[in-house]
Every structure is written in C-alpha cells, then in structure tokens.
Amino acid sequence: MLELIQETASYIRHRMHTVPETAIILGSGLGRLTEEITETYEIDYRDIPNFPVSTVEGHSGRLIFGKLGGKDIMAMQGRFHYYEGYSMKEVTFPVRVMHALGIRTLFVSNAAGGTNSSYRIGDLMMITDHINFFPEHPLRGKNVGDGPRFPDMSEAYDRTLISQARKIADRLGISLREGVYLGTQGPTYETPAEYRMFYRLGADAVGMSTVPEVIVARHCGIRVFGISVITDLGVEGKIVEVTHEEVQRAADEAQPRMTAIMRELIAF
C-alpha cells in the first residue's frame, strides 16, 4: 500500500509546479467550484498510476491545481464511492496520496438528503460531526503509515474552521445550517423508514460519501472542514421521488454560496 501511495504521489509531484497545503473534494454536481480557481493546470485521473476512475455522472475525474482565496490548492473534481464497487482502501486512496503530497487541510463537500424537518432543498449544512453507517471501515486491516492504530475522532471536523465559517456566513449574509452527516453505502436513495431511523439516530443529513475520506484524513493528521448541500428531503410529508439529475440541479443552485464560504475559509 505504501509503495503504491508513493508511486502515485511521485507521478503527481513531478507534474506539479505549485505547493498546495489545501485540498478540496467536490461532491455530486458541485464541480463548478473549479471555475473559481485561477492559474489552473490539470491531471486526468486516467493518467495517474494506481488512481481509481469515477464512474458517476457529475464527477468529472480530474485533479485541478491552481489558486483559490489567494492560496495554492488542489481539487478533486469527482470522487470515488463504495457503491461503485471500490474497496474502502480504493475510495480513500486519494486522501493518502494528498497526505504524501503535503496536504494539511482538506475541504469536503457532498450532496445530501435532509432528515431534519427544519431543512429546505438548497440549504447548506456545515458538518459538525458524522455517523459511519458503511459496512466496511476504511482503516480495517494493517495500519497504514505512521497514523495511530486507534485514531481519536472526537474532533473529526476542525472546530477552528467551523467557528470561522460561522463568521464568514454571517458577514456574507448566507444561511448556514449545522448538523450531523450520516454516511451510508448506497446506491439507492433512502426509504421513508430509513430516513426516520437515521434522524432518530441523530443524523440531520444522509449521503453516500465523505465519512471514509474524513476518517482517513484524520488518521493522517489532516484537519477537515465539511459542507453538505441539501438536495432532497427525507422528512415525513415532504418525501418525493428523487433522481440523480434533480440532485445535480439543486447542488448547482447552491454552488455560488458554498464557493463563497470556501473561498473565504481557504484564505483564512
């Protein structure tokens, strides 16, 4: 595993002419944030040794380098999901490579279904904690690298970044919810009974990604900030049939607000 990580990191490093310490993983329909990145250069996933390739519509499959908020950043336009058939090691492999490349802060975004009855489609939810509902743990097996065998997860999402994001949202006049994200394997959207169960477990939103990447990032010592775009509702009386295209449209509408917060937070 370490040899594969180093091989991939070496390939990318030799094609980099910036030194980013911040990375962004963009979720379903949220790839347009890359339009805000300046002085860009790109690497296609298909050209990167050992890298998975995204198979989901709305996930382009490129590493993008450039500047956002005046800082050098790298962005994954397209992530990998457990439901695509990848193992958890493959899903989280890019985070391991980020760590090898010197990334110290990771921003994660996703499209999620809201289980909190006060939420509306298009809301932004800052993730303050998560519930891991995946059937396979990303740290299962031999401990990788020099991270702890039993990582502490009492602060999965960085409190300083959360505090700063609140101030940014207030200053920009952007409504920003705060809540718990539950990650499940998909690829089906949840049944009404599942939505009710997840809310009773303490989840404000549910999706099919993010949690494994955050766990591995914290294992590597990378601090994390996460944000969900509420693209559908799993609230009794408000549940309707949902399609991936509708999720993408709702995410697209919320992108300018999410981008504004992330740009300011990266500059912080």
State how far the Cα of 200 lies from the Cα of 195, in Å rounded to an integer: 9
- Residue 35: what pLDDT? 83
Find out if CATH 3.40.50.1580 is the number for domain 2-267: yes
Element spanning 162, H or E: helix 159-172
- Residue 75: what pLDDT? 94
- The answer to whether 234 and 190 have CB atoms below 8 angstroms apart is yes
Instruction: Outline where DSSP puts E strands in the chain.
Output: 22-26, 38-44, 62-68, 71-77, 105-114, 124-132, 176-183, 205-207, 223-233
Q: How far is CA 14 from the centre of its chain?
A: 26
State how far the Cα of 244 lies from the Cα of 230, in Å rounded to an integer: 13
Instruction: Outline where DSSP puts E strands in 139-246.
Output: 176-183, 205-207, 223-233
Q: How far is CA 253 from the centre of its chain?
A: 18
DSSP state of 142: S
- Residue 242: what pLDDT? 59
- Residue 194: what pLDDT? 93
Report the chain (268 residues): mean pLDDT per 10 consecutive residues. 91 95 83 83 93 64 91 91 93 96 96 92 95 96 92 96 97 96 93 93 96 97 95 71 66 83 89
- Residue 215: what pLDDT? 98
State how far the Cα of 199 lies from the Cα of 133, in Å rounded to an integer: 13
State how far the Cα of 47 lies from the Cα of 41, in Å rounded to an integer: 14
Task: Count the alpha carbons within 13 Å of 109 in the hemisphere toward its beta carbon.
Answer: 30
Which residues, listed in sequence order, are joined to residue 206 by a DSSP beta bridge?
113, 182
Which residues, listed in sequence order, are joined to residue 34 by a DSSP beta bridge?
none
- Residue 58: what pLDDT? 46
